[in-house]
Structure 1
Amino acid sequence: MLFSEEINTFLAVVRTGSLLQAAEIVCATQSTVSYRIQALERRIGHSLLLRSRGSRRIALTPHGERFLDIAERWKRLEMEAEQLKMESDRYLAIGAVDAVAIHVLPPFVAELSREDPPIRLHLESGRYWQLANRVASGHLNAAFTLSPADHADLVSTRIRSYAMRIAYMPQNGEQEIEECADLTSFDYSREVYLPWSGQFDLWRTKRGLLRPLNSADKSHLLAPLLKRPGAWALVPSFMVEALRAQTGCSIHRLAHQPPPDIALYRISRRHDSTFAERDSEAVERALRALQA
């Protein structure tokens, strides 16, 4: 219902202090967020937000402070009502960064799909901070990322880790590179960079890999760039078989000072009253497919 959308949007604006970030959380445009807030203010009959010139941050008016308590109580009641519905209609919303969604989650989803009575599943992908915001706001039950969430209301549980490997496209006529190789065996200018984690970026800096010529912000964009002769990229081990099949690249381990392993995290709310016990148990059972 529209009033619920307006309240959820209002809470997203309050929590982020930004119309733009709120728009990302509620999956709407910034103009739609502004329209919903204005519609809510017309319903209430008072201005709820202070919009200061020259400042991107948004503050609450006195009436906004009073309405915040009402909005939070409304949200709790809405969640309790949804919980009643979930007793007969099981529903889980799961998010993941794209590399995990493509290469890691299929066994997890397959396990959940075997549940009886069946679970309605909603799956979405995004950047790790977007997914963390979606979990914090209650739009997702859990998210799977390669970085922990920095949020007081969220818990980041490490599931397992994956070694990093070099995927390399050989050049015609060159001497074959050994399976266990040194980083100097690869042309630094031909690296295809992906932003796996803060630790990974720190390792790259220490090894002198500062300004890659090519980069991809999501893993599904890597294969076309990797098809160029001499191109190479550091990737988690869970991607190597798919890349080998897509591109015909060779896979190598680093003999000296390899990058840190990439960890898979499950992000969830610290206190999630909407997560039915049987659905929590179903998720735990499905997680065993990822921990194997």
Structure 2
Amino acid sequence: MLFSEEINTFLAVVRSGSLLQAAEIVCATQSTVSYRIQSLERRVGHPLLLRSRGARGISLTTEGERFLDIAERWKMLEIEAEQLKASHERHLAIGAVDAVAIHLLPPFLSALSDELPPIRLHLETSRYFQLFNRVASGHLDVAFTLTSADRGDLTSTPIRDYPMVIACAGAKASPLADEVDLTDFDPSREIYLPWSSTFDLWRARRGLSRLTTTVDKGHMLAPILRNGAWAIVASFLAPSLREQTGCTIHRLAIDAPAPLTLYKIARKGDNAVEDRQQRLIDGALETLRRDA
């Protein structure tokens, strides 16, 4: 008898091309992934993967190619069986990057939680590239990121844009205007958040250094935004930063960085999420489109 976790692990290895990425997809250690593949090969009676020392990526043996078709058909049957079992239950698996989960998704999740009959939700956060893999593998129905997925098996639907603003905790003799210039701020007091590659290019063009205080998560900013420090942040962070730190929020009058876009990531041509549930997602998304 073939075990579900072994089939799912095999498919994750094939789709990702590496044991390490497959381990992230199935939420297991790399050694566990190797053990499951070896166990599956013993059951099938043939090696399924070619493992060349020093080679990049993993390829299939002839038997592995034949078994891949069986595994994919088995996966579809498993999905159909789960849908039959849960025919009277609505379920959504949703992922998001941390900043989106903390600052943007609460109204969206509240709208889903108010639906009747109730929707059983699975929620998780991770880095954007890990979320892409989780959606592609079928572990998540949808994910919300601040980076589009440049992949043929995924769709990236823009939800809305958020302008970049400056949060400043400085105590100046005269208050800053709502619209400011970058030269109004001391570059040595900047706190850098890595929003995107486009944002990094803008910083380099404006002469801002990477050798400055850095945080890689938005929720880590508030404790150190003090004593003249400032940071360029997406506008959705502004309300909580103002409440926690008393900072002032300003717009750049000239040559501001490009807005940050919120994307909905889904599988291309996916029928796993029923039309009714997809309508629920899109309806709940209206809370994000209208909330500033």
**What TM-score do you get using the length of structure 2 for normalisation?**
0.95
8 Å CA contact 1:83, 1:276 repeated in 2: no
In the alignment, which of 238, 241, 256 is matched to residue 240 of structure 1? 238
The residue number in structure 1 matching 2:265 is: 267
Give, in whole Å, the separation in 1 of the partners of 2:181 and 2:241: 21
Question: Which residue identity does 1:138 align to in structure 2?
Answer: G
Give, in whole Å, the separation in 1 of the partners of 2:173 and 2:13: 57
The residue number in structure 2 matching 1:143 is: 143
The residue number in structure 2 matching 1:287 is: 285
Change (3 A) 1:85 1:194: farther
Over residues 145-177 of structure 1, what are the superposed CA-to-partner deviations in whole Å (9 max), with x where a residue is unaligned? Answer: 111101101110011101111111114x65433
Give 1:225 shift. Answer: 2.6
RMSD: 1.5
Question: Which residue identity does 2:209 align to in structure 1?
Answer: L
How many residues get paired? 290
**3-state DSSP of counterpart to 1:54:** coil
Give 1:42 shift. Answer: 1.4
8 Å CA contact 2:2, 2:40 repeated in 1: no
Q: Does 1:200 align with 2:219?
A: no
Q: Does 1:186 align with 2:185?
A: yes
The residue number in structure 2 matching 1:221 is: 220
Give, in whole Å, the separation in 1 of the partners of 2:219 and 2:55: 37
Give, in whole Å, the separation in 2 of the partners of 1:63 and 1:130: 29
Q: Does 1:277 align with 2:267?
A: no
The residue number in structure 2 matching 1:54 is: 54
**What TM-score do you get using the length of structure 1 for normalisation?**
0.95
8 Å CA contact 1:94, 1:123 repeated in 2: yes
- 66-75 or 76-85: bigger deviation: 76-85
Give 1:197 shift. Answer: 1.8
In the alignment, which of 240, 243, 249 is matched to residue 251 of structure 1? 249
Over residues 200-255 of structure 1, what are the superposed CA-to-partner deviations in whole Å (9 max), with x where a residue is unaligned? Answer: 1221111112314111222122222323x122111111110101111221111111
The residue number in structure 2 matching 1:177 is: 176
Give, in whole Å, the separation in 2 of the partners of 1:222 and 1:85: 45
The residue number in structure 2 matching 1:38 is: 38
Give, in whole Å, the separation in 1 of the partners of 2:201 and 2:267: 29
Question: Can you give the 5+ residue segments of structure 1 that lack an aligned partner in the other structure?
Answer: none
**3-state DSSP of counterpart to 1:266:** strand
Give, in whole Å, the separation in 2 of the partners of 1:243 and 1:2: 52
8 Å CA contact 1:112, 1:119 repeated in 2: yes
The residue number in structure 2 matching 1:168 is: 168
**3-state DSSP of counterpart to 2:209:** coil
The residue number in structure 1 matching 2:84 is: 84
Give, in whole Å, the separation in 2 of the partners of 1:239 and 1:85: 41
8 Å CA contact 1:131, 1:143 repeated in 2: yes
Give, in whole Å, the separation in 2 of the partners of 1:189 and 1:46: 61
- 213-222 or 21-30: bigger deviation: 213-222
Give, in whole Å, the separation in 2 of the partners of 1:86 and 1:160: 33
8 Å CA contact 1:135, 1:269 repeated in 2: yes
Change (3 A) 1:2 1:116: farther
- 191-200 or 34-43: bigger deviation: 191-200
Question: Which residue identity does 1:184 align to in structure 2?
Answer: T
8 Å CA contact 2:2, 2:43 repeated in 1: no
Superposition misfits of 4+ residues, deviation over 4 angstroms: none
8 Å CA contact 1:191, 1:212 repeated in 2: no
Give, in whole Å, the separation in 2 of the partners of 1:279 and 1:212: 46
Give, in whole Å, the separation in 2 of the partners of 1:2 and 1:121: 28
**Percent of matched pairs sharing the same residue:** 64
Give 1:56 shift. Answer: 3.4
**3-state DSSP of counterpart to 1:246:** helix
8 Å CA contact 2:12, 2:22 repeated in 1: yes
Q: Does 1:230 align with 2:228?
A: yes
